[in-house]
Amino acid sequence: MDAHRGLDLRRWRRALIGAAAGVVLGGIVAGAWGQQAPAPEEEPDMLANVHWLGHASIKITGEKVIYVDPYEIKGGEKADLILITHGHSDHLSPDDIAKIRGEQTIFVLPASTKHNLKGRVELMKPGDEITLAGVKIRAVPAYNLKKKFHPREQGNVGYVFTVGGVTYYHAGDTDLIPEMEGIEADVAFLPVGGTYTMDAAEAGRAAALVKPKVAVPIHWGSIVGSAEDARLFQEKTDCEVRILAAE
């Protein structure tokens, strides 16, 4: 089936439902004219505990300290968990891991990734689930369709994990792949730099599949991808996009 056409149909259907709801809501509001409207409940900030450390590096603080693909970072709190998406040196960086690893740090890596990490290492294949330090983690596929950098057979992953009541999706180095349709997350970290991963337009389509409350562009600002790519992603994406400043 043509995935893009399916997507357009769904968006069209959403728009229709939205329009119908608008008519009904309009009627209700008109009927209740003169009454005090209840104050809208404050939405919690989905990114309250999120820190972008540049490139594809993310740190989540709050209940636990979780890093994903720490690379060229300044240092920081000791990690409860370090999630690594694949073995490329801008994602699995021993020098950076050394800055944040502590006695209790648990490492999560794709089963196929070669590494020299000492300590507790959990290996995952796409589809695997595990709970570590109270954090539910699912490894999801991440691969290129028509590029040679991240073949599917390599078993690289992205991660969907829940902590502090928020579900995060870090896509890893990936193209726009059909498996994204089955991913649900409140916050999605999506690569936008192109060349090795999705570009801004493809990442916009990925966001339409995952439908997060907030999407954050990653894999830009060093190596590949520019601020313009991040801005383009924001322009091409239906859901809220927040471009973070690297910490």
Q: State the nearest-atom distance from the C-beta of 65 to Zn ion, in Å.
A: 24
Here's the x/- map for Zn ion, 135-174, by CB under 5 A: it reads as --------------------------------------x-
Closest CA to 188 of 165, 164, 218: 218
Tokens of 112: 């196929």
Size of the site for Zn ion (CB under 5 A): 2
- Cβ at position 219, least distance to Zn ion in Å: 9
Please report how close the Cβ of residue 71 comes to Zn ion at its closest, in angstroms.
11
Give 105 or 197: the residue with its C-beta nearer to Zn ion: 197
Window 49-88: contact mask with Zn ion (x via CB under 5 A): ---------------------------------------x
Taking the complex as a whole, how short is the minimal distance between the CB of residue 85 and Zn ion, in angstroms? 8
In terms of CB distance, is 88 or 138 closer to Zn ion?
88
CB 175 within 8 A of CB 191: no
Count of CB atoms within 10 A of residue 28's CB?
A: 8
Element (H, E) at 170: strand 166-170
| 219: contact with Zn ion by CB under 5 A | no
**80 vs 173, beta carbon nearer Zn ion:** 173
SS3 sequence of 40-90: CCCCCCCCCCEEECCCCCEEECCCCCEEECCCCCCCCCCCCEEECCCCCCC
Which C-beta is closer to Zn ion: that of 173 or that of 175? 173
Contacts of 197 (CB under 8 A, 6+ apart): 144, 173, 174, 175, 191, 219
Which residues, other chains included, contact 238 with Cβ-Cβ below 8 Å and sequence gap of 6+?
11, 204, 207, 208
CB of residue 88 to Zn ion, shortest distance in Å: 4
Shortest distance, position 163 Cβ to Zn ion, whole Å: 25
Which token pair is 115?
């590494």
User: Of 47 and 190, which CB lies nearer to Zn ion in the complex structure?
Assistant: 190
- Residues that bind Zn ion in the complex, under the rule CB under 5 A: 88, 173
